[in-house]
Amino acid sequence: MTTAVVILNWNGKALLKKFLPSVIAHSREANIYVADNASTDGSVNFLQQNFPDVAIIQNKQNGGYAKGYNDALMGLEEEILILLNSDIEVTRDWIKPMLEIFKNEPEVAAVQPKILDYNRKKHFEYAGAAGGYIDKYGYAFCRGRIFEEIEEDHGQYNDDAEIFWASGACLAIRNKLFIKARGFDEDFFAHQEEIDLCWRLNNMGYKIKYAGKSAIFHVGGATLSSINPRKTFYNFRNNLYLLLKNLPSSKLIPVLLMRMLLDGVAALRFLGQGKFNHFFAVFQAHMDFYSHFSAIKSKRKNPPAGAGYFRIKSIVSSYFLAGKRKFTELAD
């Protein structure tokens, strides 16, 4: 299988200097590309001078993660595309387990590896951990990470497993299915666009998998940290986009209304913690959602009833009320 590793970069020269060598050293079976999102920090010149064998794709503007990758991948012909964040250290043979899944399971559209924390290498990393899921109300969680509770890696998720969404930090996907699904939704700009893509692929009848024998180390928060109100804005707004686009019609209104209520509770929690910028970010997220409601609704593709749900109704109640902190504690 022909394979491409594509790293999206925006003003990340320091990250490329630090992490690109490991990608080059351990990705012999792939062509390596850096897609630059109109950086102004000299990233392109740095790559040309220091990594002349790495192909450079120069996007005309910084369209965020979604548009950046849509533009960058448009002309690539490799069968498997591995979208890799610039703040990731890969390990020996990290690509092979994912390719094995693609070779042996034609119904699989996308795969992610085990994602560990670069700064705490025995722990999973927030953005993807050992594979992602959502609950009835669209809250994302992972094997190895529920809200801020992050598990230590003891080999408990070394299996290959079907998941609901693969992390955008390292997303391997069949090129033809990326095209068939029409890529990322650029209205998301950044955050959760990979969940939307995977949900659409699930609705199309394909599977998403986790490769437990492949491991990478992710810094996380290198673009927007968790304390940045802009990240709060994207997470809350894009989650509403997710539900509006992909929920089956029978569940759309009741689930959206409940999610809005829960968002209000979250906003009040921010207020009580003195995080006024995050409180206003939730408010702004909802205002933006209402103003784009019709445009996002027009993208619905008649999702099949029941598609997209994990075995748990509410991760919020399981975590905050029942005290379940690990994925293995969640009831069937």
Q: What is the pLDDT of residues 57-99, one digit of tens each?
A: 999 999 899 999 999 999 999 999 999 999 999 999 999 999 9
| Helices 229-246 + 193-203 axis angle, to 10 | 10
Rounded to an integer, what distance in angstroms lies between the CA atom of residue 186 and that of residue 299?
12
Judge if pTM exceeds 0.85.
Answer: yes
Residue 263 half-sphere exposure toward CB, CA atoms < 13 A: 27
- Burial class from Cβ neighbours inside 10 Å (0-12, 13-18, 19+) for residue 35 reads buried
H or E stretch at 273: none
- Distance between CA atoms of 51 and 203, rounded to whole angstroms? 40
Question: 3-state DSSP call for residue 317?
Answer: helix
At 27 the three-state DSSP class reads coil
Beta bridge partners of 14: none
Instruction: Give the model confidence (pLDDT) of 200-255 as tens digits.
Output: 999 999 999 999 999 999 998 644 555 789 999 999 999 999 999 999 888 899 99
- Distance separating alpha carbons of residues 251 and 233, to the nearest angstrom: 24
Amino acid identity, position 19: F
Name the DSSP letter for residue 158: -
99 burial via Cβ count (<10 Å: 0-12, 13-18, 19+): buried
Q: Is 22 exposed, middle or buried (0-12, 13-18, 19+ CB in 10 A)?
A: middle
Nearest of 77, 72, 63 to residue 31 by alpha carbon: 77
Res 50: pLDDT: 97
Pull the structure tokens for residue 134: 């959502």
Amino acid at 57: I
State the Cα–Cα distance between residues 299 and 269, nearest whole angstrom.
32
- The set of residues, in sequence order, having a beta carbon less than 8 Å from that of 267 and lying 6+ positions away, is 279, 282, 283
- List residues bridging with 57 in a β-sheet: 35
For residue 117, what are its two tokens?
A: 């924390």
Question: Could you count the other beta carbons within 10 Å of the beta carbon of residue 307?
Answer: 16
Give the pLDDT score at 222: 46
Instruction: Please check whether residue 284 is in contact with residue 270, taking contact to mean a CB–CB distance below 8 angstroms.
Output: no
What is the structure's pLDDT at 241? 97
The list of the chain residues with pLDDT below 50 reads 222-223
Q: How far apart are CA 164 and CA 141, in angstroms?
A: 10
- Look up tokens 């998301």; give the residue: 188
> How far is the C-alpha of 311 from the C-alpha of 6, rounded, in Å?
33
